[in-house]
Amino acid sequence: MNGNPGATKAASADIVDTAFGAGALTTLTAALTAAGLTETLKGPGPLTVFAPTNEAFGLLLSGAIDNLLQDPFGQLTETLKYHVVPGEVMAADLVNGQALMTVHGSELTVQVTGDQVTLVDAAGNSANVITGDVAASNGVIHIIDAVLLPTASPAAQEIAATPTQAGQDAQHRSDSSASMGTHFAPESVPRQRQTAKTSVRVLVGLTYVAMIAVNALANILPINGRNTGEISDSYENLFAPAGLTFSIWGVIYLLLGTHVLYQLGLFRGAELDDGPRLGGGARVGADEVSPRADLLQRVGVLFSVSSLVNVAWIFSWHYDLILVSTLLLATMLVLLILITRTIMGAELSTLDRLFVRLPFSVYFGWITVATIANVTVWLVSIGWDGFGIAESTWAVIIMSVGVIIGTAVILKDRDVAYGLVLAWAYFGIWIKHTSESGFNGAYPVVIATALLGVAAFIVAGAVATLPRRANH
């Protein structure tokens, strides 16, 4: 049995996220999702999970996974619960002959020979612990090489394979895969669904490249003889930040680039290409995809549309179609709100938070500010007199509205990245108003509002990092 050298360190990821991050446990995580057990395993615990590898599920008899999936909240759930033990049981705590009571209600028997730990299930089958003490924030995972079966499960007699049967079945699946030139998939899996997911990934990649190319050409050529910043400077207003603030676009496009790579399969297992698969290739549900694959697909479609809108915005901006550019930016904002709502309503792994939530939190934050700025530019372009109210007063009103909206989003979504982007934008406004090349301190009330905005966003972000208070 291999130990986990990081087991003694505090783990930040819970059992589910830790399993999602382990490439050898994708079949298990797909099964947990199908059975609706992920929220349970994300609870405070502590829990001990004996986690079968993908290969362990592959040893089950052909058709066994399909049988379990026909009753995801019955047979499948009971089988998975048989792999969970209350409390945190480390490998060193296991002794020969020990009986472990599982969440299922049946016992597992521990056999220890030297440094090898083996579990014997109620049906008499055994599973070796091949990696022990994988730490999680709410318990521990021990990775095993076979699926454990409770005698009480009607599936036990149907899905247990003898070593000879398992080898023949595994060889059959291998031969099928080779002959098809692809990962074995049952005929019941519609190819249209698979093609649709592939088409979304291709669309995400192409529209992202188009967006990057047009934004680059806008300043290299430049489009219509002026770069993007020069057009902004031609409509002077008190809400515009200093030029260096726009360097955040580089960060945004870099983060969005990592998301595109994540969509294409980098940083994650290939099992998401057509949804996580169980055992011999059966997907979670006969005609369904995994929740994460579904999340990526929905986000991908919205992101692709937003990239095309971004391209259209560049052309409208460079050709001084300010009203059109304002409407397009407002459209981008709506799309990013939809993307954010989709992400916030999903169950995210650690990788999802890094490559899905973070890029769009930053993008959403900047487009929030950019939309307000574009509306301000449009008002300047039509010569709006502000109903006789001083320009600095309007600037304070607009900035205050931005602070209220931004703070509300930060606290509601507990989105620190979004808040930091807003703080950066308001810091840029402060620089513009205090620098000699800017307004050189001509509007003290705007300077004070900008600083208060930065402080409000930072405080809201700090509050968002505090743990939620438990309901009593």
CB 451 within 8 A of CB 442: no
Between CA 222 and CA 231 the distance in angstroms is 11
Query: Residue 267's pLDDT is what?
Result: 76
Tokens at residue 209, please? Answer: 């490249």
Split at pLDDT 50, 70, 90, the class of 289 is low
Query: Residue 5's pLDDT is what?
Result: 42
Q: Which residue has the higher pLDDT, 393 or 291?
A: 393
Query: Residue 388's pLDDT is what?
Result: 92
Split at pLDDT 50, 70, 90, the class of 191 is very low
Split at pLDDT 50, 70, 90, the class of 78 is confident
Q: Is the pLDDT of residue 197 over 80?
A: no
Compute the average pLDDT of residues 107-121: 86
Span of 18-27, 173-182, 280-289 with lowest mean pLDDT: 173-182
Of 392, 347, 398, 446, the residue nearest 32 (C-alpha): 347
Between CA 233 and CA 403 the distance in angstroms is 24
Between CA 33 and CA 272 the distance in angstroms is 13
Query: Residue 272's pLDDT is what?
Result: 40
Query: Which letter, b or e, does each residue of 398-416 get, where b requires 16 or more Cβ atoms within 10 Å of its Cβ?
Result: bbeebbeebbebbeebbbb
Mind listing the pLDDT tens digit for each residue in 261-279?
999 888 764 444 444 444 4
Query: Residue 273's pLDDT is what?
Result: 42
Collapsed DSSP state (helix, strand, coil) of residue 50: strand
Query: Residue 28's pLDDT is what?
Result: 83
Q: Is the pLDDT of residue 186 over 70?
A: no
Q: Which residue has the higher pLDDT, 171 or 296?
A: 296
Q: Which of 35-39, 96-100, 175-179 has the highest mean pLDDT?
A: 96-100
Tokens at residue 206, please? Answer: 């192409």
Q: Is the pLDDT of residue 288 over 60?
A: no
Q: Is the pLDDT of residue 434 over 60?
A: yes
Q: Report the CATH architecture of 2-180.
A: Roll (2.30)
Tell me the average pLDDT of the chain.
Answer: 81
Please report the sign of the dihedral spanned by the C-alpha atoms of residue 88, residue 90, residue 93, residue 94: positive
Q: Domain residues of the chain, as ranges?
A: 2-180, 192-464
CB 179 within 8 A of CB 172: no
Alpha carbons within 13 A on the beta-carbon side of 372? 25
Phi, psi (rounded to 5 degrees) for 441: 75, 20
DSSP per-residue string spanning 193-241: HHHHHHHHHHHHHHHHHHHHHHHHHHHHTTGGG--HHHHHHTS--TTPP
Span of 83-87, 170-174, 324-328, 347-351 with lowest mean pLDDT: 170-174
Torsion of Cα atoms, 323 then 324 then 325 then 329, to 10° = 100
Span of 110-119, 188-197, 358-367, 399-408 with lowest mean pLDDT: 188-197
The pTM of this model reads 0.61
Torsion of Cα atoms, 392 then 395 then 397 then 401, to 10° = -160
Q: Distances in Å between the alpha carbon of 29 and those of 15, 23, 79, 160, 349?
A: 10, 10, 14, 20, 11
Q: Is the pLDDT of residue 389 over 50?
A: yes
CB 17 within 8 A of CB 268: no
Query: Residue 187's pLDDT is what?
Result: 35
Q: Which residue has the higher pLDDT, 229 or 391?
A: 391
**DSSP-assigned letter for residue 10:** P
Q: Is the pLDDT of residue 469 over 80?
A: no
* Residues paired with 134 in a beta bridge: 141
Q: Is the bond into 222 cis (omega within 30 degrees of 0)?
A: yes
Collapsed DSSP state (helix, strand, coil) of residue 112: strand
Split at pLDDT 50, 70, 90, the class of 184 is very low
Between CA 468 and CA 413 the distance in angstroms is 12
Mind listing the pLDDT tens digit for each residue in 47-72?
899 888 888 877 775 556 666 666 66
**Axis-axis angle for helices 391-413, 444-464 (nearest 10):** 0
Chain CA centroid to CA 225, Å: 40
Chain CA centroid to CA 384, Å: 43
* R_g of the chain computed on alpha carbons: 28
CB 78 within 8 A of CB 150: yes
Split at pLDDT 50, 70, 90, the class of 133 is confident
CB 78 within 8 A of CB 148: no
Q: Is the pLDDT of residue 35 over 70?
A: yes
Q: How many CB atoms lie within 10 A of CB 225?
A: 8
Between CA 75 and CA 81 the distance in angstroms is 10
Q: Is the pLDDT of residue 99 over 60?
A: yes
Between CA 100 and CA 119 the distance in angstroms is 9
Of 351, 163, 176, the residue nearest 263 (C-alpha): 351
